[in-house]
């Protein structure tokens, strides 16, 4: 069975299940699935009340994986996330008591309401899939994914995420408001009970691991690899940009394009795959200069402009 077939089987079950709770957000859910297949971490940003937490819970419930949720608050301590070494009076020894980060799917709810020190407690976990407590390293379970929600930074009581932590999120997704018609349909769906109550796991850890491995087999032509590298490179040295996208961003865009191609039923990547993903993968890694922001520029607009100007390689595939 080819890579696309393996991924397609997982994608169809996953998308159908999540869409029962998250209506009219197929493209956003697909981006979340891309992140999952790339073994990445997901940041969901939007105003309160548009379904960020419900989306994260729906993703977790669709997977037959262990799930924990942390509500980030200003008084949350790093040890509340990672765990602590505590003295056991019965054994007269110190023992490690793991925190909620020791789950396969971790929901970090309103992550930017915690202090920078607590936010930083997730850095090692997200990159190395492990945590170090008092010099001892503890490996996290596999698969491991952090799904974080945050309110826009202009809202009161929020702390901006450090650049190093933003860079560890493969993708940032926004949900936006539903239309009036979509909201009316949503009310009809919720008249008896929340669709969340009906969600059951549809993808096992083994199926997910197989799909994640299959994604890496999707073919990317050398010309397209160069196109991805050029796009990311254009974010650096730009007069409007204080900090461009990192090499990690290049790798993330490459792997995300492979995942999207497989979801779409192809064993090869097209330039359109890269274009669809560029803003979601790159924009949150770009820090603009203050004068550019004052002139109405945004990281999303900058990426869109690069996509328009950058030469797209002509792709021709046999068969």
Q: What is the CATH number of the domain that holds 268?
A: 1.10.8.80
Return the ∠ at Cα 23 (arms to 148 and 285), rounded to 5°.
30
Residue 318 domain-assigned (yes or no): no
113 and 238 both lie in a single domain: no
One domain for residues 136 and 271: no
In a domain, 270, yes or no: yes
DSSP per position, 16-54: HHHTTTSTT-HHHHHHHHHHHHTT--EEEE--TTSSHHH
Considering only CA atoms, which of 42, 67, 38, 63 is closest in space to residue 52?
Answer: 42
43 — pLDDT class (breaks 50, 70, 90)? very high
Residues 176 and 89 in one domain: yes
4 inside domain: no
The pLDDT, as a whole number, for residue 184 is 67
CA distance 308 to 154: 30
Query: Is 160 within 8 Å of 153 (Cβ atoms)?
Result: yes
Q: Does residue 251 sit in the same domain as residue 146?
A: no
Residue 12 resides in a domain? no
How far apart, in whole angstroms, are the C-alpha atoms of residue 143 and residue 39? 8
Report the SS3 class of residue 293.
helix
- Tens digits of residue pLDDT in 260-311: 999 999 999 999 999 999 999 999 999 989 998 888 888 889 999 999 988 8
For residue 171, give the nearest of 4, 13, 65, 27 by alpha carbon: 27
3-state secondary structure of 317: coil
Task: Please enumerate in sequence order all residues whose Cβ is within 8 A of that of 138, keeping only pairs 6 or more positions apart, or say none.
Answer: 83, 96, 98, 102, 130, 131, 132
The answer to whether residue 1 sits within a structural domain is no
For residue 94, the model assigns a pLDDT of 80
- Give the C-alpha separation, 76 to 110, whole Å: 12
The reply to whether 252 and 183 lie within a common domain is no
For 50-103, what is each residue's pLDDT tens digit? Answer: 667 777 788 888 888 888 989 998 899 989 999 888 877 778 788 888 999 999
Higher pLDDT, 256 or 2: 256
Task: Note whether 281 and 290 are within 8 A (CB).
Answer: no
Judge if 178 and 38 occupy the same domain.
yes
Q: Are 33 and 262 within 8 A, CB to CB?
A: no
Beta strand 130-133 with 287-288 is: unpaired
pLDDT in tens, 263-273: 999 999 999 99
| Contact of 267 with 284, CB cutoff 8 Å | no
pLDDT of residue 179: 63
State the residue range of the domain holding 295: 218-311
Please tell me the least confidently modeled range out of 193-197, 211-215, 235-239, 254-258: 193-197
| Residues 124, 238 within the same domain | no
- Is residue 99 classed as helix, strand or coil in its secondary structure? coil
Q: Are residues 177 and 258 in the same domain?
A: no
User: Helical H runs in 101-246?
Assistant: 116-120, 123-128, 163-166, 180-189, 205-215, 222-233
Say how far apart CA 220 and CA 69 lie, in whole Å: 36
Phi, psi of 93 (to 5 degrees): -135, 155
316 lies in some domain: no
206 occurs within a structural domain: no
Task: Mark whether 223 and 175 lie in a shared domain.
Answer: no
| pLDDT score for 316 | 66
Same domain flag for 57 and 177: yes
In the prediction, which pLDDT does 319 show? 46
Percent of the chain clearing pLDDT 90 (strictly above): 34
Cβ count near 21 (within 10 Å): 23
For 109-133, letters b (16+ CB in 10 Å) and e give: bbbbbbbeebbbbbebbbeeeebeb
What's the structural domain count of the chain? 2
**Segment 244-258, tens digit of pLDDT:** 899 999 999 999 999
The helix (H) or strand (E) run that includes residue 303 is: helix 299-309
179 within domain boundaries: yes
pLDDT, one tens digit per residue, over 128-164 is: 999 988 888 889 998 899 988 887 765 556 777 888 8
Pair (125, 165) in one structural domain: yes
pTM above threshold 0.95: no
Contacts of 146 (CB under 8 A, 6+ apart): 41, 42, 106, 108, 122, 125, 126, 169
Residue 173 predicted with pLDDT over 50: yes
134: domain CATH number is 3.40.50.300
- 163 and 30 housed in the same domain: yes
């Amino acid at each position: 069975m080819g890579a696309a077939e393996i991924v397609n089987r997982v994608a169809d079950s996953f998308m159908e299940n999540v869409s029962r709770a998250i209506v009219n957000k197929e493209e956003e859910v697909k981006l979340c699935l891309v992140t999952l297949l790339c073994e990445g971490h997901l940041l969901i940003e939007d105003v309160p009340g548009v379904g960020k937490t419900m989306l994260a819970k729906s993703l977790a419930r669709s997977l037959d994986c262990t799930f924990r949720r942390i509500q980030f608050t200003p008084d949350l301590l790093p040890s509340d996330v990672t765990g602590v070494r505590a003295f056991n009076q019965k054994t007269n020894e110190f023992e490690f008591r793991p925190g909620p980060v020791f789950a396969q799917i971790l929901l970090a709810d309103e992550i930017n309401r915690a202090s920078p020190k607590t936010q930083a407690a997730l850095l090692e976990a997200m990159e190395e899939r492990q945590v170090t407590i008092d010099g001892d390293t503890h490996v996290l379970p596999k698969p491991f994914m952090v799904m974080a929600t945050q309110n826009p930074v202009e809202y009161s009581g929020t702390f901006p995420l450090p650049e190093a932590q933003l860079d560890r999120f493969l993708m940032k997704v926004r949900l936006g408001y539903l239309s009036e018609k979509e909201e009316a349909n949503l009310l009809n769906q919720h008249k008896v009970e929340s669709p969340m109550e009906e969600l059951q796991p549809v993808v096992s850890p083994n199926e997910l691991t197989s799909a994640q491995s299959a994604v890496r087999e999707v073919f990317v032509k050398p010309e397209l690899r160069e196109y991805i590298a050029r796009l990311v490179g254009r974010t650096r040295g730009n007069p409007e940009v204080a900090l461009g996208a990192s090499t990690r961003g290049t790798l993330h865009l490459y792997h995300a394009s492979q995942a999207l191609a497989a979801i779409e039923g192809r064993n090869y990547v097209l330039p359109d795959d890269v274009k669809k993903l560029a803003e979601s993968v790159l924009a949150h890694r770009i820090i603009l200069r203050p004068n550019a922001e004052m002139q109405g520029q945004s990281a999303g607009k900058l990426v869109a402009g690069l996509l328009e100007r950058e030469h797209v390689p002509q792709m021709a595939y046999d068969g």
